[in-house]
Amino acid sequence: MAVDKKIIEKAKLWLGSGFDEETRNYVKSLFDNDLNKLEDAFYKDLEFGTGGLRGVMGVGTNRMNKYTVGMTTQGLTNYLKKSFKKEEIKVAIAFDCRNSSDYFAEIAANVLSANGIKVYLFDKLRPTPLLSFVIRHLKCQSGIVITASHNPKEYNGYKVYWEDGGQLVEPHDKNVINEVKNIKSVEDVNFNKNANNIIIVGEELDNVYLQKIKTLVLSPEHISKYKNLKIVFTPIHGATVDLGPKGLKSYGFENIIKVDKQNIPDGNFPTVESPNPEEPKALEMALNKAKENNADLVMGTDPDGDRVGIIVKNLKNEYVFLNGNQTASLLIYYLLKQYQEKNLFKGNEYIIKTIVTTDLINKMAESFGVDCYETLTGFKHIAAVMREFEGEKKFIAGGEESYGYLVGDFVRDKDAIISCCVIAEAAAWAKSQNKTLFEILWDIYTEFGFYKDKLISITKKGKKGHEEIQQMMNDFRSNTPEEICGIKVLEIIDYSSLKRKILKNGTTFDVNQPKSNVLQFILSDGSKITMRPSGTEPKIKFYFSAKGILSKPDNYYITEKELQNKIEDIVKELNIK
């Protein structure tokens, strides 16, 4: 096959003396035996997306390895030195259970320390949100966590945080990337560790974090009464293996049931096809444990402990998986209700959601008189809003449909441990009314409207797949429909051009968001369709939302089916498959 000359030249650089013998031999074997793999390994450089640097582990510029981690860390180092010229620079580093996570964390620590930066390196795996907390607690200028979140086992990643505890956003993300691009070879990277600049940290910071979580309790009376609520918890082999149960117990819940086979950190995730709590199969063992123990609630977190999936009981005593929009709605409704009942509203409270997260949250916020801000996909954008309002307004909670939520402002990323604690508190509150969380969800739909959501992800790997995804987005932009399934399209919002167009009269408005390759159709019946390429995976994602009226809770299943059919008709007409 013919491979682009630029790709060939890039790959040849990895045959140089700056790379170890194993790397050189592997690249040579690709030249000799597999040009397809060579192209995929070198056709691009890993870049920061919604979740930072993420890719398959292996050799090449499009892979996670010692050299891409080292070059990224050197680029970050150079930017930190330019940004904080008169300060002692401190960086915290955490890592999850994935294969080589501890190794990549050590590489990052070595490079930073070699460049005169003080490093706080965790002694063993820790959840991502703890890293966010520690940055603020130790007054660091930056932080790094080695994780690929819920991706398959062959992946790893590298998230960078700024001094506010949030992931990099503009201009810092692009500036770091530019600094990395300025590093022309691995010889520009200082890998020579300075042990005097590395401080190993551990349980003492865990305890500070857990104490802080306890301050979030709103219903101590309900927690005390239902402290024996049966909660099945699984870390799915990940980083919440210790802090998940400890957090729940510290919060006041005493009956935590573990899934023994998944309570062992393991980057191969031997008990699941995918460690993604969005997928019911990932919580299958936890569900079986719940059935054995007649548990009230099931919660499972992803490998780095920032997202959580939950299972609750319905009116028939059957276990039901909730999606991310439903859990976010329940969590935020509970908080708003408690603020109202306890007269905690001062008039400056707000919540945040992403543009692909259910508009039910907007409706609830409006009803309770609370501002609701929308951001692009990725919790880093939520953190940016929190930073903007810090000291002026009170952040209650934030959430996104991809199972990530945050309560309180001392962490600046989605936090599965905090979420588990507050979800359990909400379950105890529901139980005090002789209800399950599922029944509370029915109450919400009856009061604010029934929102049904569906996500379709289409995977297209490699250079060819990347081009196909871009073409799909181009096609939707150039052939925007005036109606879908007989329903008029009212608005088209293009976050690439930052324009919102009203189809009826052709009027356009500016969109106040960072530029992003996202396209959104707003329909006259309240339905919404959003399409965007993933920033962390070789996928294009389509988000569908349909709105209906639930006249009474007993009509739940009929209304749900009607909305589901509407979404399926829209999917079919748009030929998404």
Active site residues: 149
Q: Which helix (H) or strand (E) holds 266?
A: none
Residue among 335, 330, 267, 268 nearest 299 (CA)? 330
CB within 8 Å of 43: residues ≥ 6 apart:
4, 7, 62, 462, 463
CB within 8 Å of 29: residues ≥ 6 apart:
none
Q: What are the tokens at 258?
A: 């573990």
Is the separation of the CB atoms in 353 and 372 below 8 Å? Answer: yes
Is the separation of the CB atoms in 563 and 549 below 8 Å? Answer: no
492 φ, ψ to 5°? -125, 120
CB within 8 Å of 531: residues ≥ 6 apart:
472, 473, 476, 518, 519, 520, 540, 541, 542, 543
Is the separation of the CB atoms in 519 and 496 below 8 Å? Answer: yes
3-state SS assignment for residue 398: strand
Residue among 168, 148, 169, 72 nearest 112 (CA)? 72
Beta partners for residue 72, in sequence order = none
CB within 8 Å of 48: residues ≥ 6 apart:
160, 168, 173, 176, 177
What single string gives the DSSP state of each residue in 182-229? Answer: T--SGGGS-----GGGEEEE-HHHHHHHHHHHHTT-S-HHHHHHTTT-
CB within 8 Å of 226: residues ≥ 6 apart:
427, 428, 431, 432
Q: Is the dihedral of CA 76, 77, 79, 85 positive or negative?
A: positive
Between CA 328 and CA 66 the distance in angstroms is 38
Is the separation of the CB atoms in 439 and 269 below 8 Å? Answer: no
Between CA 167 and CA 198 the distance in angstroms is 22
Angle between helix axes 437-448 and 324-341 (nearest 10 degrees) is 80
Q: Which helix (H) or strand (E) holds 53?
A: strand 53-56
Q: Are strands 519-523 and 487-494 parallel, antiparallel or unpaired?
A: antiparallel
3-state SS assignment for residue 316: coil
424 φ, ψ to 5°? -65, -40
Angle between helix axes 35-42 and 462-478 (nearest 10 degrees) is 60
Torsion of CA 299, 303, 304, 309, to 10 degrees: -30
Between CA 32 and CA 26 the distance in angstroms is 10
Between CA 382 and CA 375 the distance in angstroms is 6
Cβ atoms < 10 Å from Cβ of 169: 20
